[in-house]
Amino acid sequence: MKNKIKTINFLIFFFLITIIATLFYFSTNKKSTQQTEPTFTKNGELEFLKKDSPSKIIDIEVANNDEKRTQGLMWRKSMSENSGMLFIFDAEKQLSFWMKNTLIPLDIIYVNKFKEIIAIHNNTVPLSEISILSKQPAKYVVEVNAGFCNNNIININDKIKFKIK
């Protein structure tokens, strides 16, 4: 009888330890897989050159390699009004962006190799996986907060210039 009680107590103890260890593992693993919000890193400035109105200058973070271009503005909960991200590609080609894991609505601006704006997609939908095409070959893409282009009268055929630190 004593051996049976010891065995039952051991099994209960083992079962409780297993449950506690499992709960600890999953709570720790959940925390480690949660995405933290990247911070803005100013890499330079970009100026929108407009034909009939004053230019507009913003601070830019640069995405000039595959890793940075893939990450883009994903997981950002906000972005300063006068900030944006400049994507630089090695060659001019038709480009396609999406809003997967992007939490804020954006204006996406496609720019050709002559630094002329060729397409603007206003107020893109956060978290959407729908492709947003350049329609024409582009070498640069600028992402800014939704409404920026309308508020600052940024149009197709305007130009950009930028300085990277």
Provide the pLDDT for residue 59. 98
| Banded model confidence at residue 19, pLDDT cuts 50, 70, 90 | low
Residue 43 contacts residue 60 (beta carbons within 8 Å): yes
| Banded model confidence at residue 12, pLDDT cuts 50, 70, 90 | low
- Beta partners for residue 140, in sequence order: 88, 111
| Banded model confidence at residue 47, pLDDT cuts 50, 70, 90 | very high
Question: How many CB atoms within 10 Å of residue 6?
Answer: 10
Provide the pLDDT for residue 53. 84
Provide the pLDDT for residue 52. 80
Question: How many CB atoms within 10 Å of residue 63?
Answer: 21
Sequence-distant (6+) residues with CB within 8 A of 156 are 117, 118, 119, 120
What is the CATH T-level fold of the domain 44-164, as seen in this structure? Jelly Rolls (2.60.120)
| Banded model confidence at residue 4, pLDDT cuts 50, 70, 90 | low
Over residues 74-90, the mean pLDDT reads 97
For 106-132, how does the pLDDT look when each residue is reduced to its tens digit (9 = 90+)? 999 999 999 999 999 999 999 999 999
Q: Which residue has the tokens 């507009």?
A: 56
Rounded CA gap, 129 and 39, in Å?
23
| Domain residue ranges of the chain, discontinuous segments joined by + | 1-34, 44-164
| Residues belonging to the chain | 165
Average pLDDT, the chain: 89
- Beta partners for residue 96, in sequence order: 133
Over residues 6-33, the mean pLDDT reads 59
Sequence-distant (6+) residues with CB within 8 A of 109 are 117, 119, 120, 121, 141, 142, 143, 144, 149, 154
Provide the pLDDT for residue 15. 59
Provide the pLDDT for residue 31. 45
Provide the pLDDT for residue 33. 47
Specify the higher pLDDT residue, 79 or 13.
Answer: 79
